[in-house]
Structure 1
Amino acid sequence: MIKLAAFDVDGTLRDRDYLPESTRTALLKLKEQGIALALCTGRSEYEMQSLWKELAIDWAVTCNGSHIGHQGKTVYGNAFPNETIIGWLQEAKRLNHTLILYGSELMFTNKKDSEYFRQAQQEIGFMEPVLLQDNDEVPDIYQCIIFCEEQDEASYLQEYKNSYYIHRWRPWAVDINPNGMNKAVGLQKLLDHLDLDPSEVAAFGDGLNDLELIESVGTGIAMGNACEELKEKARFVTKPLHEDGIAYAVEKWIL
């Protein structure tokens, strides 16, 4: 029996500002059946606040699993060492790269009006980050986005590459999370907190950073618009987001 349903956001629950009405109805039906809901996203808690409020979703596993919030309050967080972020900021200044840093309450950047950031903002949407000045104190950071080509990653990762979870989502943009965190690890932290077994969980996703998530639960569901690698790992493949894929899966395989 499913007791919790976890949803990736971009490409799964919504496409930019478009969220199907059928998805809202399906989430309401799940709640009426006593099934808990959680967002499970590479986005930050800060960016997800309006969405979990709009959909009345209490739990949010954000930053690719590095942060877990309950109604916006931190329940668990695995932050980078502060000296790591300071070093990356110095390296980005040297190489003229843009960083986006996800804290628990805000997102920060070292550089405004970056060409790559604006392109990403246009393609998938980003809220405006807060500019960090050279002498500003750096808060706890749970995920870093570096706008750089793949060959430039080594300047930041050095010999510690295997210690990070790395998800390149554009040729010029990469997510980095600490200590091998990913959505499956973050979700398991939430399941431990709620005393749930992975077999009691359904998870929905569409991207490469959902691979571990889909494999880690009893009912892993790939969207019809998902990448082929994810479809191969999923237990079920539903219809695309724009064809009421969430509602179809909820009725067919959960309710």
Structure 2
Amino acid sequence: MIKLVAFDVDGTLRDRDYLPESTRLALQRLQEQGIILTLCTGRSEYEMASLREELGIDWAITCNGTHIGYRGETVFGSAFAKDTVREWLEQADRLNQTLLLYGSEKMFTNRQDAPYFLQAQQEIGFMNPILLEFNQDVPDIYQCIVFCNEQDESLYVGEESNTYYMHRWRSWALDINPGGMNKAIGLQRLLDHLGISTNEAAAFGDGLNDWEMIEEVGLGIVMGNADDTLKQKTSFVTRSLREDGIAYAVDKWILQLT
């Protein structure tokens, strides 16, 4: 029996501002059965607030599992060391590169109107961050996006890149999270908190940073619009986002198990 369902956001629940009505109704059907819903995304708690409230979802696992919030309030968080963030800000200033830093309630950047950020904002949508210069006090930061090519990665993470969880989602954009964290770890922390077993959880995703979460749960479902590499890893592949993929999987694989 499924007691909790986790949803990636971009490419899974919605495509930019488009969220299918069938998805909205499917979430309502799950909630009517007493099933707990949570967002599970690489985006920040701050960015997810309006969507979470719109859908009536209490929980959000954000920053690739590094931050967990209940109705917007931090329940668990694994922030970077502040000295590390200061070093990254100094490095980015020297290299004329752009950082996007995710706190629990706000997003920050060291450089506004930068070309790569504007391109990402156009392609997938970002809320406007607050300017944070390297000599200002550093808040708790749970994820850093570096707009740089692969050759420059080592300038931020050093030679021991395995001390961080990293996800490159563009040739010029890299997510960096504290080591040992990913969506599966964040989801497991929430499941433990709620007293729900892994086998009682389902998860939807479409990106490679969703794989650990999909593999971990009792029912991991890949969207039909996902990369073929991800679809080949599981037997539960639903229709695409724009073909009512969430609703199809909810009715076929989740509600029939309740």
| Shift in Å, 1:243 | 0.4
Number of residue equivalences: 255
| Shift in Å, 1:135 | 3.0
1:57 aligns with 2:57: yes
Cα separation, 2, equivalents of 1:134 and 1:2:
46
1:45 aligns with 2:45: yes
Q: Which residue of 1 aligns with 2:29?
A: 29
**8 Å contact from structure 1 (residues 214, 233) kept in 2:** no
Q: Which residue of 2 aligns with 1:72?
A: 72
**8 Å contact from structure 2 (residues 214, 220) kept in 1:** yes
Cα separation, 2, equivalents of 1:160 and 1:69:
30
Cα separation, 2, equivalents of 1:229 and 1:34:
33
**8 Å contact from structure 1 (residues 2, 35) kept in 2:** yes
Cα separation, 2, equivalents of 1:188 and 1:229:
24
1:1-255 superposed matches below 5 A: 1-255=1-255
**8 Å contact from structure 2 (residues 92, 98) kept in 1:** yes
Cα separation, 2, equivalents of 1:218 and 1:109:
38
Any idea what SS the aligned residue of 1:159 has? coil
Q: Which moved more, 1:21-30 or 1:133-142?
A: 133-142
Structure 2 CA distance for partners of 1:235 and 1:38, relative to 1, 3 Å: farther
| Shift in Å, 1:231 | 1.1
Cα separation, 1, equivalents of 2:234 and 2:68:
24
Cα separation, 1, equivalents of 2:60 and 2:234:
22
Cα separation, 2, equivalents of 1:190 and 1:143:
19
Q: TM-score, normalised by structure 2?
A: 0.98
**8 Å contact from structure 2 (residues 86, 134) kept in 1:** no
Structure 2 CA distance for partners of 1:138 and 1:73, relative to 1, 3 Å: same
Cα separation, 2, equivalents of 1:125 and 1:234:
29
Structure 2 CA distance for partners of 1:160 and 1:84, relative to 1, 3 Å: farther
* One-letter amino acid of the structure 1 residue matched with residue 138 of structure 2: V
| Shift in Å, 1:228 | 1.4
* One-letter amino acid of the structure 2 residue matched with residue 151 of structure 1: Q
* One-letter amino acid of the structure 2 residue matched with residue 229 of structure 1: T
* One-letter amino acid of the structure 2 residue matched with residue 128 of structure 1: N
Cα separation, 2, equivalents of 1:135 and 1:230:
42
Any idea what SS the aligned residue of 1:180 has? coil
Which runs of structure 1 show a deviation greater than 6 angstroms over 4 or more consecutive aligned residues?
none
Could you tell me which runs of 5 or more consecutive residues in structure 2 were left unpaired when the two chains were aligned: none
Q: TM-score, normalised by structure 1?
A: 0.99
Cα separation, 2, equivalents of 1:66 and 1:47:
15
Any idea what SS the aligned residue of 2:145 has? strand
